[in-house]
Amino acid sequence: METTPKPVGPDLMALFLGFSSVGLSGFGGVLPFARRMLVEERGWMTAEEFNTQLGLCQFLPGPNVVNLSVVVGKRYQGVAGAIVAPLGMLAGPFLIVLLLAMLYDHFGSLPLVQGMLRGVAAAGCGLLFAMAWRMGAALRDKLLFLPFSVLTVAAIAWLRWPMPIVMVVGLVLAGGLAYWRLGRK
Contact set for another protein, span 29-48 (CB under 8 A)? 29-30
Measured from the CB atom, the residue of 17 and 121 that comes closer to another protein is 121
CA distance 127 to 136: 14
CA distance 152 to 150: 5
Contact set for another protein, span 113-172 (CB under 8 A)? 114-136, 138-141, 145-153, 156-157, 160, 162-164, 167, 170-171
CA distance 67 to 60: 9
Question: According to CB under 8 A, which one of 26, 36, 42, 80 is a site residue for another protein?
Answer: 26
Measured from the CB atom, the residue of 8 and 138 that comes closer to another protein is 138
Query: Which range, of 8-16, 40-48, 86-94, touches another protein by CB under 8 A?
Result: 86-94
Measured from the CB atom, the residue of 14 and 70 that comes closer to another protein is 70
Q: How many other C-beta atoms lie within 10 A of the C-beta of residue 123?
A: 10
Measured from the CB atom, the residue of 13 and 123 that comes closer to another protein is 123
Query: Which range, of 1-9, 10-18, 39-47, 111-119, touches another protein by CB under 8 A?
Result: 111-119
CA distance 113 to 57: 37
Measured from the CB atom, the residue of 8 and 60 that comes closer to another protein is 60
Q: Give the 3-state secondary structure of residue 8.
A: coil
Task: Quote the least distance from Cβ 41 to another protein, whole Å.
Answer: 18
Query: Which range, of 7-15, 39-47, 103-111, touches another protein by CB under 8 A?
Result: 103-111
Q: CA dist 59 to 66, 68, 129, 138, Å?
A: 13, 12, 23, 17
State yes or no: residue 108 binds another protein (CB under 8 A): yes
Q: Are 72 and 45 in contact (CB under 8 A)?
A: yes
Torsions phi, psi for 11 (to 5 deg) = -85, -175
CA distance 170 to 175: 8
Torsions phi, psi for 170 (to 5 deg) = -60, -45
Binding residues with another protein: total (CB under 8 A): 97
